[in-house]
Amino acid sequence: MRGGFDLIAQGMGGIMHLTGEPDGPPISVGLPICDLGTGMWAVQGILAALYERQRTGVGRLVECSLLETAIGFSSWTSAQWLTDHEEPARQGSRHRQNAPYQRMKTKDGYLMVGAAGQAIWARCAKALGRPEWCEDPRFATNEQRMQNRAALETEMEAVLTTATSDHWVEVLEGPACPAARSTITRSYSPTRRSAPAASCNTRATRIWAKCRTSAPRSRSTRVCACAASPPNSASTTPRSSAASG
């Protein structure tokens, strides 16, 4: 049995082959996705085993591996290979089936634009002041946008680089075109814990926890903030009971 390391699993499982720019080398995901994902699969297996024990009285042995996690995450890229024997290529931040659904350059950084559907694309073009893009034979349909993606990126970035990412987030979110600034400091800053998550259109909530850390060979400790597990649950009173009370 081989030792398990996230980086090795990303390489063996094909994740690194799919990550990076088309003309660049394979790149590992910025987070230990195989380590984290294997833990998530393990929890699902444990919960299923507990339910099976409760139902039948028989326990289960739950096994997970980093490599199987990497392969399991491959989704349609592995399906493409198994069906057509066509080797998937790196696309950077670009979506493999929709455009524009990717990173775009702005005046002060980068913006994620999620105009994945035709209706959203129409709202996006209008919000950017270019409604004529919807009639442009290069960009009118998703198929045409995929075929002319380089030209689409050039046209869109010519507009987006005239203002900041924050400006364009406000402009695009108004007409309901998903957009987000590429950042980590705003997401993790303790002074902004509730801000952008509270207004996120996915209704995600950010949970923070405090932990104590000790320096090696030292009795001193300090409290630091860290991101806790996202799931949240609370007991609720059935409506019938609440009404009767």
User: Which of the residues are catalytic?
Assistant: 35
- Asked if 142 and 133 touch (Cβ cutoff 8 Å), the reply is no
- DSSP class of residue 87 equals P
Here the tokens at position 144 are: 């045409």
Position 228, amino acid = A
Torsional sign, CA 111, 116, 119, 125: positive
Q: How far is CA 100 from the centre of its chain?
A: 16
Which H or E element spans position 232? none
Cα distance between the two ends of the chain: 60
Which residues, 6 or more positions from 104, have their beta carbon under 8 angstroms from its beta carbon? Answer: 110, 111, 112, 113, 153, 156, 157, 160
Which H or E element spans position 235? none
Task: Say what angle helices 165-173 and 118-127 make with each other, to 10 degrees.
Answer: 120
Nearest to 29 by CA among 18, 40, 44: 18
CB count in 10 Å sphere of residue 70: 24
